[in-house]
Chains A and B, each alone.
Chain A
């Protein structure tokens, strides 16, 4: 099987998964108690009014008609309107999406740039002080709850030292670049600086667990690879140690690491609900919680569908990278 066909196959599987997600999200409304009418209608609404609302929302149609209507609308990018505010659901979700993606990517970058070198150092200096420091850090990092770490960072760095803002998001990343293009260098750089200051603490909070996890994975994977007989054979042919470590052992270690990275990134897109709450970060996580609280079904559904698609997309990318790194995957 060629690389292209492999990707095509995975892409097709991804579409099937998205369809499944959409269907389940649709069904969710019917297996949870309470009708959407309750959310929309005033408390003292008459039976007649309730009936009219139900008709308006299409709730009097048979289930399969509602389902097909939903799919058809979704294909055209129409996810309905918020029951509460009347804002278009797709618009609402897509304005929140950049904040979440920024946070997910930023925390992953923090994690990747820290964890992989840490893991390599830890594995190649096994049972030396650097290794003990790295393993201790990863143990602490894995066992520290996000919300606590977030609050502590805010208390220490924001409140005590005033280094970072306590919460919120001043500019979006793209927005900051627009300012750079439109208003010149000085306000542009200032906007970027503000963006960085605001995202720093949430990214570190979210990235710490992630860093710790990948450090451990890299360390153990690297140790396993370095124990393989091909490493000894590679030494026997006279390659320098740095080449053996990085080109051979680390490359093979990264194969499982990338899988975990992808899965984690997927969950981050699902919204780091708690971290977003601690830092009042206006992302999908906050939107999701709000929608659940007020039974705003269109928003809830739109959020879930976008999260599901994001998850599938990230995994598709992971598969592509995975197959690139490990040719045996394509062969199977």
Chain B
């Protein structure tokens, strides 16, 4: 059995807005194993992206991670912090959340790299693409050159440096070696004529090429975990497949783990070994792809799977999940299961929220966890909640 590179426990992120407290991510648990693709799937607003940002500690105000642990396996880092931060170390694992700010930032790049949804807005429009990738290489290079790596990883950069860089372009922050490495990386992700493209600006790239460049930038730090937040959503369908193929190929060759965040179940089915389904900030069901897709327990997972068309057996009508994602405002969330209002199998026992429970699993050593009472019992119509719609049995 593969080891976990990442263990996320009770991760909770809230936004403190003027309308009130928004519970964007609510006690999320999941593991990511070595060399696997772990998928997080859910509707818009289910907390997928905030989960990703919480992992790399980039939630912006008014958002804040209020609770939880992100255990990352790095024996060297664990040894370094065993004495200074004993509470943040457990065996080979360190709790990223309890490490000092500088160390946390240091982990971005070599530990966690991120690809965002829209490549066009994820790159600075006024700096050549190659230079932006080279920056990511340069940061790691300087960090390696500086043995006290948890300290300041680079020399400072201020107004004076900006002035010098602007007036004398040859005296740039980025070294020639880093620039060459950036060209190599562009070549690696299949960008033709990489040397020339490295000098071009983001607006001279197509969307697909730009997302490839983003992947190259993510590879710059040789990350252990690649977080891909809706990497194909902003792209044409034909380009989507290319990017997914690229990700699969790189994941195998570089032996990275990938956290793939998407709303697209097809992408999940194609890419992932294990998957977590998110709803209203919670992971409602997680397990192996087979367990979750073939034997879903949570009615929400069932509903999601029921809402995709099947090419081999086209049903006359797709069955959408009735209703909308609930408000995530703390004051409006209440005590009952967040899905109860939309759930076709809501019962009286759903009036209280429950912890994750074990569900039957087909694979040894792979958990199948569900946050639903149906994990232990069958649906009983006599206990149905008022207003809940009974499941329609349509076997055609």
Contact = CB atoms under 8 A, between A and B. Distances in A.
Interface residues of B, number: 47
A237 B139 contact: yes
Contact of B126 (A235, A240, A246, A326): A326
Interface in A233-251: 233-240, 242-243, 245-248, 250-251
Contact of B159 (A233, A246, A248, A252): A246
Interface string B124-151: 1111000010011001100000000000
B185 to A, nearest CB: 12
Contact of A238 (B106, B125, B158): B106
A interface SS class: helix
Nearest to B116: A233
Nearest to B127: A248
Contacts of B107: 238
A250 B162 contact: yes
B56 A239 contact: no
Nearest to A113: B159
Interface in B99-115: 105-110, 112-114
B199 to A, nearest CB: 10
A159 interface: no
Contacts of A170: none
Interface stretch (A101-109, A224-232, A288-296): A224-232
A328 interface: yes
A232 B50 CA distance: 13
A30 B108 CA distance: 70
Interface string A11-49: 000000000000000000000000000000000000000
Interface in A298-332: 325-328, 331
A235 B56 CA distance: 10
B224 to A, nearest CB: 13
B116 A229 contact: yes
A328 B154 contact: no
B182 to A, nearest CB: 12
Contact of A233 (B109, B112, B123, B158): B123
B108 A247 contact: no
B178 to A, nearest CB: 13
B124 A237 contact: no
B165 A236 contact: no
Given A232-B58, A236-B56, A242 B158 contact: yes
B203 interface: yes
Interface in B156-170: 156-159, 161-162, 165-166
A233 B58 CA distance: 9
A117 interface: yes
B135 A237 contact: yes
B203 A331 contact: yes
Given A229-B116, A232-B58, A252-B126, A240 B220 contact: no
Interface in B198-229: 201, 203-204, 214, 217-218, 220-221
Nearest to A242: B157
A246 B153 contact: no
A235 B114 CA distance: 10
A168 B186 CA distance: 62
A239 B122 contact: no
A149 interface: no
Nearest to A237: B136
A146 to B, nearest CB: 28
B196 interface: no
Given A230-B124, A251-B126, A255-B126, A239 B139 contact: yes
B203 A239 contact: no
Interface residues of A, number: 30
B60 interface: yes
Contacts of B135: 234, 237, 239, 243
A200 to B, nearest CB: 24
A240 B118 contact: no
A240 B108 contact: no
A243 B122 CA distance: 16
B294 to A, nearest CB: 35
B113 A240 contact: no
Contacts of A238: 105-110, 136, 139-140, 153, 221
A251 B153 contact: no
B136 A246 contact: no
Nearest to B161: A246
A237 B220 contact: yes
Contacts of B139: 237-240
B152 interface: yes
Contacts of B204: 331
B30 interface: no
Nearest to A332: B203
B113 A234 contact: no
A171 B108 CA distance: 58
Interface string A234-274: 11111110110111101110010000000000000000000
Contacts of B84: none
Contacts of A116: 159
Nearest to A321: B166
B394 interface: no
A126 to B, nearest CB: 10
Contacts of B214: 233
B324 interface: no
Most A CB contacts (10 A, CB to CB) among B118, B126, B158, B204 go to B126
B116 to A, nearest CB: 6
Contacts of A247: 127, 157, 161-162, 165, 173
Interface string A52-67: 0000000000000000
Most A CB contacts (10 A, CB to CB) among B58, B135, B139, B218 go to B135
A237 to B, nearest CB: 4
Interface string B52-91: 0100101010000000000000000000000000000000
Nearest to A243: B157
Given A238-B221, A247-B165, 16 more contacts: A117-B159, A230-B121, A233-B214, A235-B58, A236-B116, A237-B109, A237-B139, A238-B106, A238-B140, A243-B157, A246-B159, A250-B159, A250-B162, A251-B126, A328-B201, A328-B203
22 contacts: A120-B159, A229-B122, A230-B121, A230-B124, A233-B123, A235-B105, A236-B108, A237-B108, A237-B217, A237-B218, A238-B107, A239-B135, A242-B156, A243-B173, A245-B157, A247-B127, A250-B159, A250-B162, A255-B126, A326-B125, A328-B126, A331-B204
Interface of A: 116-117, 120, 228-230, 232-240, 242-243, 245-248, 250-252, 255, 325-328, 331
